[in-house]
Amino acid sequence: MAALSNPRWERFCQELLVDDNQSQAYIRAGYSRLGAARGARRLIVRPEVAARVAGLRTARNDRIAETAGVTQGWIVARLLDLHERTLDAESWPQVRLTLGMLGKHISMWPTRPAAAGKAVTLGELIAKAYKADEPDPE
């Protein structure tokens, strides 16, 4: 995405990447300290600013991943290795964590689906999955 036409908005977007502090980025972009939190909130919800920030973050993350040689395949391979080691060590909280991360990566379940207006936690989804695996008592 091209730079924003408003130079202060563009500067705000660039400064937000420094420390992810909206108020400080707002001030560093040349806006007043008074009402910085409110002004930053109003600015970040503008569609063009939000899109620019998202584009800058994606570009930065891609550069970091390329420099470090990190790919999705690399991450999955390391998670699988870690999962095997935690199984061997019987570190059950870590086993659960690695399984959750792998499942989330392949979109096996949403992290917070809305069910009849109520947010469902990952723990509730896992509990439902275990119950579904149990045979029906007859």
Inform me whether the pLDDT recorded for 46 exceeds 90.
yes
Domains of the chain, CATH where assigned: 7-68 (1.10.10.1400)
Helix (H) or strand (E) holding 95: helix 92-105
Residue type present at position 94: Q
Percent of residues, the chain, with pLDDT higher than 90: 48
Residue 52's pLDDT band, with cuts at 50, 70 and 90, is very high
Give me the pLDDT at residue 9, please. Answer: 96
* SS3 label, residue 132: helix
On the question of pLDDT at 123 being above 70, the answer is: no
Q: What is the mean pLDDT of residues 58-80?
A: 89
The CA-to-CA distance between both ends of the chain, in Å, stands at 61
Q: Show the tokens assigned to 42.
A: 């109003």
pTM, 2 dp: 0.60
